[in-house]
Structure 1
Amino acid sequence: MFLEMPAFFCAGEPSGDLYAGLFIRELKKQFPDARILGVGNGQMRDSGAEIIFEYTRLMSLGLKDSVMSACHNYSAYRNIARWLCRLRPRVFVAIAYPGMNLLLCRYAKKIGVRVYYLMPPQIWAWGKFRKFFVRKWVDSVVSVFPFEAEFYRGLGIETIEIENPLVSKLSVYKRNDHHKRIGFMPGSRPSHVRRNMPVVLELTDLVYGHIADVECCLIAYDSRQANDFKKDVKDGVRVVHENRYQVMKNCDLLVIGSGTASLEAALLGVPQVFFNRPSFLDFHILRRFVRISEYNLANIYFGKKVVPSYVGYGRARLVNSICEVITNTVKLEKNKPYGTRGSPMFTKEVQ
């Protein structure tokens, strides 16, 4: 598949960087001398890729953020397109971030580069019209989700299904610290964090005020985000980013505002509650175009509701709903690991 090098990978946000890094590591095992370069951040860099452009100023999500960042994303698109033209890689691999990556797929195809799309557009959720762009500009879709691979094949699009690399990566973690702890993960994109952080800060105050002998910690994606978190949190709330998966595993409960982090927590077997606080425009306008009723990636992946999830624009309602789950869950027995897809996360389902 990737015998012809060099290969250019393009990840526009943290979850794409994560999967790209895992994918490149496996690729490097088979082809140690392969030259891989592209757009990404720490995970891709650590896997051995040459980073020519960092995505940190991209990462828009939703209607409002996409409109606000359109000019910058177009500038980034032109910059990356110039690199593609200059380097002329044999393979272009787009990872997530379809707002810009679909256009880059179009350009790569135009200059004769073979195009793969890892973590393709979620047209099973919304924007099904994008299937025409994928069919025209992408040679093969690469999916880590069985339901997604089946969906794309049903559209007549060439699809390669691979095992989700997170499954094997996370299976090695065991809990090694049984102090009562609640972890908070407000998201990876700056716009997500801005909306979710007020909910997290209010929840940490409530937890310290009503639950004895519990530690609250904010789990950051990287050191840059950790430094941003430290500016907002009060004394007593620990901010961590190193050895992130072990910290997650050592929690009694995780309060999560990111889809990929929710799936990671599910694969780790850690109880969690998921919440999402979209922008006003997304909540009242964009959701009318969404074709699915379930927003949590772990629930979609396992095919059943294993994670309580709350989506809403109002902060007070989200805080009240999450508080109820915290009260019921923080007293549960030790974490029970997942067996296969469909295994329950909670000893008692929370409505």
Structure 2
Amino acid sequence: MTIEAATRQFALVAGEASGDLLAGLLLDGLQARWPDLKAVGIGGPQMLSRGFETWWPQEKLAVRGYIEVLRHYAEIAGIRRQLRARLIDERPDIFIGVDAPDFNLDLEAGLRASGIKTAHFVCPSIWAWRPERVVKLRAAADHVLCIFPFEPELLAKHGIDATYVGHPLAKVIPMVPDRAGARAALGLDADAAVVALLPGSRRSEVRHIAPRFFAAAALMRKVRPSLQFIVPVLPTLRAEVEQLLQASGMAGQVMLLHGQSHAALAACDVTLIASGTATLEAALFKRPMVISYHMNSLTWNLIMRHKQLQPWVGLPNILAGEFLVPEVLQDRATPQALAKATLDWLDAPEKIHALQQRFCAMHTELLRDTPTLCADAIQKVLEG
């Protein structure tokens, strides 16, 4: 019987919202190749909408930061032990860990040692920080699906098989975003300048970053009273965000969106944004940005300051190999500094035009048929 005709069971784990999006597109390719595929493990709404069977809520794994992970370590480690035991007992055709390397790499290594084929979707950022992960990755994955074009060559130097599959977001986000349409849909003034504030999608991020962003917005409003501010908010965080706005004096002066981060990026003139995948989304929307981040100081000192390999943390800057957009991080992320850096973009139309040209080239390079390329790579692993 050929692989195409066989009934397959694939196991996947996606630990947070960005991984859920990636895994959803991965499943599109896998289900097109194997229509009777059964997919199980841990996933979110994008995966569930494609018939995925999740054994634990994805939110159990959506914890970020050294100190924050320590608080939840026992529960997360227990889930991983139970999942490993169940998968070894059920013997799926392949296990695919989608991002979440702190959870998935150890799981993959255990499954691979038991004879289960493994793949990892999204190369850990060994080129940016924590280079020791390359050793773990080599032990964990039979194959790595890479979302950036320079990664397979880097992994080959370490004896790791990999395939560049493009970045799924490059296909989701239009090459020419409809700013006017997004503003009309959100009920924004078509002519006034719009600033999108994106302080992150995790509770810990919102607590550390949102107060600084809202204080910066208050300063910007004093300089430019006509500015419109929008904030995409997950429903589970809305009450907390409303409290932070009240504390900052910005309640009623900021439009809270029900999620809709893509609509916010399409509509805005500039975004003040937390470092992470959202910065790449902003680049694909061709929007100027100020990248910021703030976390528990012990986490920052233990991990970021001592394990960072490049001078950039924002994905647009890493891909460009230069500071295309400013990064205002940790102790430097004062409301005054954030407000100034954001307002500077509104006074630099020529600089914005040049930036948009760079972002268009970046978008083109990342645009590939990701679902099909993923399925091709997984089929080779299965046949290997």
Equivalenced residue count is 339
Asked if the contact 1:95–1:120 (Cα under 8 Å) also holds between the matched residues in 2, the reply is no
Deviation string 1:145-193 (CA, Å, 9 cap, x unpaired) is: 1122222122111111111111111026321223421111111232222
CA 1:237/1:87 → structure 2, altered by over 3 Å: closer, same or farther?
farther
Look up the match of 2:362: 341
CA 1:239/1:80 → structure 2, altered by over 3 Å: closer, same or farther?
farther
Residues 1:294 and 2:312 are matched in the alignment: yes
Deviation string 1:99-157 (CA, Å, 9 cap, x unpaired) is: 11112102221332210001132222233233222212210011111122222122111
Which of 223, 227, 238 matches 2:235? Answer: 223
Look up the match of 2:326: 308
Deviation string 1:11-46 (CA, Å, 9 cap, x unpaired) is: 112222221122222333443432222212122223
1:1-351, aligned counterparts within 5 Å?
5-171=8-174, 173-175=177-179, 176=181, 177=183, 178=190, 179-220=192-233, 222-233=234-245, 234-286=251-303, 287-313=305-331, 317-331=333-347, 333=349, 336=356, 338-341=359-362
CA 1:201/1:140 → structure 2, altered by over 3 Å: closer, same or farther?
same
Measure, in 1, the Cα distance between the counterparts of 2:118 and 2:259: 34
Look up the match of 2:370: none
Measure, in 2, the Cα distance between the counterparts of 1:237 and 1:244: 15
The structure with the largest helix share of the pair is 2
Q: CA deviation at 1:313?
A: 3.1
Measure, in 2, the Cα distance between the counterparts of 1:26 and 1:305: 35
Task: Tell me the SS of whatever aligns to 2:361.
Answer: coil
Q: CA deviation at 1:252?
A: 0.9
Look up the match of 1:347: none
Deviates more, 1:295-304 or 1:250-259: 295-304
Q: CA deviation at 1:55?
A: 2.2
> What is the root-mean-square deviation of aligned Cα atoms in Å?
2.4
Measure, in 1, the Cα distance between the counterparts of 2:222 and 2:49: 41
Q: Tell me the amino acid that sits aligned with residue 301 of structure 1.
A: L
Q: CA deviation at 1:256?
A: 0.7
Task: Tell me the SS of whatever aligns to 1:183.
Answer: strand
Asked if the contact 2:27–2:47 (Cα under 8 Å) also holds between the matched residues in 1, the reply is yes
Look up the match of 1:348: none
TM-score (norm 2): 0.80
Asked if the contact 1:8–1:37 (Cα under 8 Å) also holds between the matched residues in 2, the reply is yes
Measure, in 1, the Cα distance between the counterparts of 2:136 and 2:95: 16
CA 1:19/1:226 → structure 2, altered by over 3 Å: closer, same or farther?
farther
Measure, in 2, the Cα distance between the counterparts of 1:50 and 1:330: 47
Task: Report which of the two structures shows the higher radius of gyration computed on alpha carbons.
Answer: 2
Task: Tell me the SS of whatever aligns to 1:69.
Answer: helix
Measure, in 2, the Cα distance between the counterparts of 1:123 and 1:153: 13
Look up the match of 1:346: none
CA 1:87/1:224 → structure 2, altered by over 3 Å: closer, same or farther?
farther
Q: Tell me the amino acid that sits aligned with residue 337 of structure 2.
A: S
Measure, in 2, the Cα distance between the counterparts of 1:326 and 1:238: 18
Asked if the contact 1:94–1:117 (Cα under 8 Å) also holds between the matched residues in 2, the reply is yes
Q: Which 5+ residue runs of structure 1 have no aligned equivalent? A: 344-351
Deviation string 1:78-103 (CA, Å, 9 cap, x unpaired) is: 23224423532111111122211112
Q: Which 5+ residue runs of structure 2 have no aligned equivalent? A: 184-189, 246-250, 365-384
Measure, in 1, the Cα distance between the counterparts of 2:270 and 2:293: 17
Task: Tell me the SS of whatever aligns to 2:306.
Answer: helix
Measure, in 2, the Cα distance between the counterparts of 1:113 and 1:273: 43
Q: Tell me the amino acid that sits aligned with residue 75 of structure 2.
A: H
